[in-house]
Amino acid sequence: MKRSIAASSCMLALVLSTSALAQGPAGGNPQAYAAPRQAAAMASAPGDASAPLTRAQVLADLAVWKKSGMSDLYRGNQEPDVYSAKYRKRYAEYLRLRNGPEYQAALRREQERGN
């Protein structure tokens, strides 16, 4: 269980770092990376940003991360192509789940389990 929390924390850090990469040059198209920057802002936990996340919040986030298919992109030794359509589609799905009722349902489940 400790390993899955550590993995979740690493995945969250990776998502945030890839969104930072997306803020780089856009090959002449300044609007090309506006969505990832907005998405990164939306993906942050609600409430006080300086407050630590609870175990239930981390596990609920991991559940929607997996449901979106993002975890499949991080298998193996190579990092995914964060500029690919496949990555962007799955990341958009993750954000939709994370900011929607699916995350709240996952959070309630984890809280009921006592996590």
Greater model confidence, 29 or 74: 74
Which H helix or E strand runs over 107? Answer: helix 101-113
pLDDT of 114 reads 86
**pTM recorded for the entire structure:** 0.58
Where do we find the tokens 């006080």?
Answer: 48
Residue 22 or 48, more confident? 48
DSSP secondary structure string, 38-89?
HHHHHHSPSS-TTSPPPHHHHHHHHHHHHHHTHHHHT-SSSPP-TTSHHHHH
Distance CA 95, CA 103 (A): 10
- What does the block give as tokens for 33? 């990376």
Confidence of residue 21 (pLDDT cuts 50, 70, 90): very low
Of the listed ranges 54-58, 62-66, 76-80, the one predicted with least confidence: 76-80
- Rounded distance between C-alpha atoms, residue 98 and residue 33, angstroms: 20
Task: Identify the CA nearest to 87 among candidates 99, 73, 71, 66.
Answer: 73
Query: Do the Cβ atoms of 73 and 22 come closer than 8 Å?
Result: no
